[in-house]
Structure 1
Amino acid sequence: MSHTAPAAPALAHSDDTRAHHCFWPARLPHRLRPPATSLWHNLAVSALRYPDKPALVFFDQVLSYRQLHDQAERLAAHLRQQGVQDGDRVILLMQNCPQWVVAHFAILRANAVVVPVNPMNRAEELKHYISDPDARVAIAAADLAGELLQASAALPEAERLRHLVVSHYSDAMGPGAEIPPAWAGWLGTRHPVPTLPGGSVSDWASALACADTPPAHNRSPEDLAVLPYTSGTTGLPKGCMHPHRTLMHNAVASCLWGNGTPENIQLLVVPLFHITGMVAGMHAGVYLGATIVLMPRWDRELAGRLISTWRVTHWTNIPTMVIDLLASPSFEQYDLSSLVYIGGGGAAMPQAVAQRLLDQFGLRYAEGYGLTETAAPSHSNPPDHPKQQCLGVPFMSTDARVVDPDTLQEMPPGEAGEIIINGPEVFDGYWKRPQATEAAFISFAGKRFFRSGDLGRVDEDGYFFITDRLKRMINASGFKVWPAEVELLMYKHPAIAEACVIATRDAYRGESVKAVVVLRESARGRTSEQEIIDWCREHMAVYKCPRTVQLVDVLPKSGTGKVMWRLLQEQEAAATVPTAQ
C-alpha cells in the first residue's frame, strides 16, 4: 500500500521563544516526528525485542510480550473469520484486564477500529454505542455481556450485533489470586456463555484457538484506529475519530516526557476505555516495551501491595486515588520508594497532598490536561518544574492559546478566555457529525485550532490554569458527566415532567451530580427523591447518577422557554459555599 508521506515539520518554529520553554524538560525537543507506522507495529516490535519480558501483570499472573502478540494475532484471525473487514468498528467492553489489551491490539491487527466503551454503562446507554458506529461485532467481559445483548435486542434487526466474544477476568488470573473481597462477585464468577439471537457467541478460549491466518496488516498513520465517545452539551455522545497518527504522537511523547525507558514498571489503574489510560498508559507502555501492572478498578490496599511488590516506577492516576492511598490505615506497610514519576489529571491535586508527596517521597506531582479529542495530554506540567493546581504547559508539538470565546482575539497573560489547541494529537472530527466538527474548529494564526470549551488563563511563565467551563460538564472524581445526557435518560422516567442536572460540591469527589426535578401531576406526592435516585442507578452508569434529587414545582426559564441551568447552578454554588473553620 503506497501513500505520500506528509512533509516533515520544520525543526524551528515560530513560538520557540514562548515563555514556558524556559521550563521545558532538559534534553527534550519541543516537537517530535512520531513513527510513520500503525499502532500495531509498536506491539510487533516490542515482541521481537523483548519476547520473554513481562508485558502485563494481573493479580501476579504474567503475560509476556510474545504471548500478548500471539494472542492478539489469534484473536485478529478470529475476527476476520467472523466477517470483520478493514475499517469495521468493533466494540470493546471490559474493565481493565489483559484481555482488554489483547482485544484492542487484535482489532487493530485485523485492520479494524476499536470502539472503547465505559463498562459502567447500562443497556439504555449501550444502544447508542452499537447503532451509531454501525458496530456488528463486540468483545465483552462475561459480567457485562447481558447488558450489551439487552441493548442489541432493543435495536432494529438490521442494527443488531451479529457476533460476540465473551471473556472472564479470571481467565487471566493465577490460582489463588488475592483479590479484594468486595470484588469476588463480578471478578470471580463464571457465567454461562450467553446466546445472541440471529448471531453467534464465542468464548475467549475458542476465539484464541482460531487456526486461520490473520489478514495482511495494511493500516497507515492516516487510517482510523480508535473511535472513543465523548458527550457534549447537547444530545447523545459523539465519536471522536482518531487515526493511528494522533495516538502514536501522544504515546511516544508521553514516554519521552516522563523519562520513560523499557525498564519502566507502570501501574495502570485509570480506565483503559478512557483516552488517558489507553494512550498515556497502554500505548506508551507497549511502545517502550515496559511492564504494565493492571488493576481492574481502584482499591487502595491492592494498589499499595502492587506498587510495593512489583517496584512500580511510574503511576498515572486521578488525585483522589493518591488521597485515598495516603489515608489507608495500612499505608506504613507499603513501600513507595521505587516511584520516580507520579502525575495525572481529571481533578486538581490538593496542595497539602502534593506537599506530602514531595516531603515524604521526593515526588513532584505533575498534573496534566487533555480531552478525548486531543488523545489525552494537550498540556502537562514539566516533571522537574510543576506548578500546583495547574494544567501545565502545551505538550510536545502543541500550540495552545487563550482567546476571547466571542471575538477569538488572543487574551493577554492572566486574563481568562477559551483554551484552543493545535497539534498532531488533535482528532480528525466527530463521527457522522460534520456540523459538530465544523463548530469545534477555528482558523487562528493560519492554523486549525480545536475549541476546548474550557475557560482558562496563562500566567507570565506560559503555564495554563483552568478557570471555568463553557460547556455544562460535571467533574466527579475525574469522571466527566454531561448534564444533557443524564437529563435525556431521566426523561424516560414515567413520573418526571422536567429535569435539570447541575453540579453540587462534594468534599471527596470535588463535584457530584444533582438533579432538580419537576414531577408530573399524577406523580406528585407518590414519587420520592430516593425512588428517582434508585431508578437512575438501574438505567445509567453509577457515576452519572444524581447523588441528590431536589423536587420543585417549576424550573426557572428564560423568555425563550429555555431552562436557566446557570441560575440553578449559581444558586447551588451559593448554598454550598464552604464555611470558614
Structure 2
Amino acid sequence: MFTRHFEYWPKRLPKSLPIPETTIYDNLETTTKRYPNKTAIVFYGTEITYKQLDTEVTKLAGYLQKELGVSKGDRVVLYMQNSPQYIISFYAILRADAVVVPINPMNVKDEVAFYLSDCDAKVALAGQELIAEIEPCLENTPLTNIVVAAYSDYAQKEVDYSVPPAVAAAKETFASTSIIDWNDALSAGVEPSPSQAKSDDLCCLPYTSGTTGKPKGCMHTHKTLQATLLGGIVWAHSSPADIGLSTLPLYHVTGLQHNMNGPIYLGATMVVMTRWDRDVALTLIERYGVTRWTNISTMVVDFLANPKLKKEAISSLKMIGGGGAPLPEAVGEKLFDLTGLRYVEGYGLTETMSQIHQNPLERAKLQCLGMPQFDVDARIVDPVTLKELGPNEEGEIICTGEQVFKGYWNRPDETRGAFVTLDGKEFFRTGDIARYDVEGYFFLVDRVKRMINASGFKVWPAEVEMTLYKHPSVQNACVIGVPDERRGETVKAFIVLNDQGKGTSEEEIIAWSKEHMAAYKIPRIVQFLDALPVSGSGKILWRKLQEQGDGSSASLT
C-alpha cells in the first residue's frame, strides 16, 4: 500500500471510508424523504424541489419500463445537454434498473450510431436540438424509440441574463411515431415496478477512447459511483447547505459525480448551466450564494479575465476546484488573491468514475494531481518492465480502489490488458506518465503515446485519422496535438491528398470534418504534405511530425 502521503493527510479525515451498499437511486429517494421541499435544481429562473424531481423520475421510469419495454440491465442512451431533464433521465433510467449510457452531446450521427450499436441500446433520451443527429439511427442501429426533451419547458421565459439558444428554443414537434414527447411520457401516469437493483449491479456505461481510437464502454456499478461521490463529499467537507454551480457537462464523469450525484446524495442545491458563459456564471454565483464550484481550469481562466468580476460578488464561494488540465500558476495566484481560496486540483479517469487523487483543501499544490484518495493504492511503475519506481522517478500510474471500473464492455482482451497484478493485488493501468514527490503528491508528466488534451476533452489521434480517411480526397493522414494558447492543445492534421483530391483546400478539410466528428475533435490546423515519414516497416513516424508540428497551416477560429 502506498502510504507516503499519510504524513500529510488531512487530520480531520479518516484514511478509510466505508462505501454504502445501496444504489444511486436510493440516494435520491432518501434525500427526498429528508428534504422534500428543499430546492434541488435552479435552472434559468426555475426552481425544482426534491419532491418534484423524484416524482418526475418515478413517472419517467414507469414509462420506460411499461411503455418502452426497458428491463433490468438494458442500456439506455442519454444524449442531452445539462438540464433538469438530464438529471431526471439519469435517475429514471436507474429507477428502471437499467444502465445509463451518457453520450457527449457534441457527437454527430455517425458517432452516435456507433455507441447505440456497441451497447445495443433500444431506447434513448435526447434533447430536441440533437434529434437531427440521432433520428437517422432509428434505421441502422438497435434504436427503436427516442424520448425528446425541450429544455425551454423547464426554464423561465424572461430572465435578466443571457440564455443559451438551446434553452430559449421553442418546443418542436416531430412526425416520427418513434419519437415520444417528454411531457407525454410523464403524463402517461405509469408506475414503475419495485426496484430489484443491487449495489454491485452495472448502472453506468460512460465511453472512453483507447489508444487505438476505438471508443470503449467502461462498466461501472452503483458501488463504484458511490465511492467517488462520497469520497468527494467527505474530502471537501460538503454539506446539505451547499449550493453548487453545475457548469461541467454532466455526461462527463467529473460533472456527473461532483455537479449532480454528489449534491443529490447530500440534499444540496444545483444551479445548472446548459452552456458555459462567464457573465451568467458571475450573476448566478452572486444571486444564489453559490458555495462550491467544481470546474475545468479553462473556465477559471476565462472567469477571472472577466472585467465585470468584483471580489464581493463571489464572496459566498468556499471551494473551487476541478481537473482535466492543470491550472496555470499565475491564474491560481490571482484566484487566491481574489478569494483567499486555493484551487483544488484532482485526477481521475472515466475508468475510475472521477477522482483517484485529490489535493487537500488545507494544503493544495498547484499543477498537481494531489494525493491518493480514500482506500486508493496508487503506484508509479516502469511502463515496460512494471518495476515499481520511487520518488521523482517518472513512470505510469497504476491504481486499485473501490471506484475502479469492472472492465470494458464486450472487450475482454482490452480488459485483460488494462490490468496488472502487483503485490497480490489487481491494479488498473491508467496509461498516464507521472511522478510523486517526497511528500506523496503526484504530478502528471505526459500522456502515454498520443492523447491530445483540448480544453480538457480527450482526443485520440487514431480516431480522428480514421474519420479523415473517409474523405474522398485523403490518401494518408496523421494527427498530432500542438500547443494552443486558449485550449492548451489543439488538433493538427498532416494530410497527403490522393490524385482526385489535388487542389483540395485546408478549409475544405476543416468544413468536412465539422460534419463528421464532434467539434472538439475537428482539426483546427491542416497541413498538406507530399508524403508522410514512415519507418522501414511502413509505420507512420508521428513523433517526427510532432517535433515539427508548429508548421504553417490553415486554422479554424
TM-score range, shorter chain: over 0.9
Query: What does residue 295 of structure 1 align with?
Result: 273
Query: What does residue 125 of structure 2 align with?
Result: 139
Query: What does residue 529 of structure 2 align with?
Result: 552
Task: Determine which of 110, 116, 120 is the counterpart of 2:102.
Answer: 116
8 A contact 1:272–1:282 mirrored in 2 = yes
> What RMSD over aligned residues (CA atoms) do the two structures have, in Å?
1.5
Query: What does residue 346 of structure 2 align with?
Result: 368
| 1:209 shift after superposition | 1.1
| 1:472 shift after superposition | 1.6
> Match of 1:110, as an amino acid?
A
Counterparts of 1:34-113 in structure 2, within 5 Å, are: 34-81=19-66, 82-113=68-99
| 1:191 shift after superposition | 4.8
8 A contact 2:78–2:102 mirrored in 1 = yes
**Alpha-carbon distance between aligned partners in 2 of 1:334 and 1:140, rounded to the nearest angstrom:** 39
Counterparts of 1:493-508 in structure 2, within 5 Å, are: 493-508=471-486
> Match of 1:160, as an amino acid?
P
Name the SS for the 2:363 alignment partner: coil
| 1:492 shift after superposition | 1.1
Q: Provide, for residues 247-285 of structure 1, a one-character-per-residue CA deviation record: whole Å limited to 9, x for no partner.
A: 011111110011111001000111000000011221111
Name the SS for the 1:119 alignment partner: coil
1:160 aligns to 2:134 (yes or no): no
8 A contact 2:42–2:269 mirrored in 1 = yes
8 A contact 1:85–1:111 mirrored in 2 = yes
**Alpha-carbon distance between aligned partners in 1 of 2:171 and 2:468, rounded to the nearest angstrom:** 31
| 1:151 shift after superposition | 3.2
TM-score (norm 1): 0.93
**Alpha-carbon distance between aligned partners in 1 of 2:315 and 2:131, rounded to the nearest angstrom:** 40
Query: What does residue 148 of structure 1 align with?
Result: 134
Q: Provide, for residues 444-470 of structure 1, a one-character-per-residue CA deviation record: whole Å limited to 9, x for no partner.
A: 111110000000001100000111111
8 A contact 1:107–1:114 mirrored in 2 = yes
Counterparts of 1:349-388 in structure 2, within 5 Å, are: 349-388=327-366
Query: What does residue 508 of structure 2 align with?
Result: 531
8 A contact 2:311–2:338 mirrored in 1 = no
Counterparts of 1:107-506 in structure 2, within 5 Å, are: 107-153=93-139, 155=140, 159-180=141-162, 183-184=164-165, 186-196=166-176, 200-332=178-310, 335-506=313-484
> Match of 1:475, as an amino acid?
N
**How many correspondences in the alignment?**
552
| 1:433 shift after superposition | 0.1
| 396 and 54 in structure 1: CA distance in 2 versus 1, 3 angstrom threshold | same
8 A contact 2:138–2:144 mirrored in 1 = no
8 A contact 1:366–1:382 mirrored in 2 = yes
Name the SS for the 1:344 alignment partner: strand
| 1:190 shift after superposition | 2.6
**Alpha-carbon distance between aligned partners in 2 of 1:476 and 1:178, rounded to the nearest angstrom:** 32
Name the SS for the 2:119 alignment partner: coil
**Alpha-carbon distance between aligned partners in 1 of 2:401 and 2:311, rounded to the nearest angstrom:** 44
**Alpha-carbon distance between aligned partners in 2 of 1:435 and 1:484, rounded to the nearest angstrom:** 19
8 A contact 1:416–1:455 mirrored in 2 = yes
**Alpha-carbon distance between aligned partners in 1 of 2:463 and 2:90, rounded to the nearest angstrom:** 27
**Alpha-carbon distance between aligned partners in 2 of 1:31 and 1:372, rounded to the nearest angstrom:** 22
> Match of 1:72, as an amino acid?
V
| 1:570 shift after superposition | 2.1
> Match of 1:73, as an amino acid?
T
8 A contact 2:150–2:172 mirrored in 1 = no
Name the SS for the 1:358 alignment partner: helix
Gaps of 5+ in 1: 1-13, 577-581
> Match of 1:47, as an amino acid?
T
> Match of 1:533, as an amino acid?
I
**Alpha-carbon distance between aligned partners in 2 of 1:222 and 1:316, rounded to the nearest angstrom:** 28
8 A contact 1:390–1:464 mirrored in 2 = yes
8 A contact 1:59–1:178 mirrored in 2 = no
**Alpha-carbon distance between aligned partners in 1 of 2:115 and 2:175, rounded to the nearest angstrom:** 20
| 1:146 shift after superposition | 1.5
Q: Which portions of structure 1, spanning 4 or more consecutive aligned residues, are displaced by more than 4 angstroms?
A: 573-576
Name the SS for the 1:331 alignment partner: coil
8 A contact 1:402–1:457 mirrored in 2 = yes
> Match of 1:571, as an amino acid?
Q
> Match of 1:96, as an amino acid?
N
Task: Please say which of residues 106-115 and 533-542 is displaced more in the overlay.
Answer: 533-542
**Alpha-carbon distance between aligned partners in 2 of 1:472 and 1:278, rounded to the nearest angstrom:** 26
> Match of 1:259, as an amino acid?
H
| 1:177 shift after superposition | 3.0
Q: Provide, for residues 67-119 of structure 1, a one-character-per-residue CA deviation record: whole Å limited to 9, x for no partner.
A: 11010000000001210011000010111011100000000000000000000
**Alpha-carbon distance between aligned partners in 2 of 1:42 and 1:522, rounded to the nearest angstrom:** 59
8 A contact 1:429–1:437 mirrored in 2 = yes
| 1:179 shift after superposition | 4.9
Name the SS for the 2:41 alignment partner: strand
| 1:383 shift after superposition | 0.9
**Alpha-carbon distance between aligned partners in 1 of 2:236 and 2:270, rounded to the nearest angstrom:** 15
| 1:195 shift after superposition | 3.9
Q: Provide, for residues 122-171 of structure 1, a one-character-per-residue CA deviation record: whole Å limited to 9, x for no partner.
A: 11111111100000000000010111112333x2xxx3311110000101
**Alpha-carbon distance between aligned partners in 2 of 1:355 and 1:235, rounded to the nearest angstrom:** 37
1:569 aligns to 2:546 (yes or no): yes
8 A contact 2:304–2:335 mirrored in 1 = no
Name the SS for the 2:330 alignment partner: helix
Query: What does residue 7 of structure 1 align with?
Result: none
Name the SS for the 1:384 alignment partner: helix
| 1:213 shift after superposition | 1.8
Identity percentage of aligned residues: 49
**Alpha-carbon distance between aligned partners in 1 of 2:223 and 2:388, rounded to the nearest angstrom:** 29
Query: What does residue 5 of structure 1 align with?
Result: none
> Match of 1:115, as an amino acid?
V
8 A contact 1:130–1:152 mirrored in 2 = no
8 A contact 1:193–1:201 mirrored in 2 = no
**Alpha-carbon distance between aligned partners in 1 of 2:276 and 2:432, rounded to the nearest angstrom:** 28
Q: Provide, for residues 272-313 of structure 1, a one-character-per-residue CA deviation record: whole Å limited to 9, x for no partner.
A: 000000112211110010001101111000000011111111
Name the SS for the 2:136 alignment partner: helix
8 A contact 2:213–2:461 mirrored in 1 = no
Q: Provide, for residues 34-73 of structure 1, a one-character-per-residue CA deviation record: whole Å limited to 9, x for no partner.
A: 1111110000000000000000111121110001101000
| 1:333 shift after superposition | 8.0
Query: What does residue 11 of structure 1 align with?
Result: none
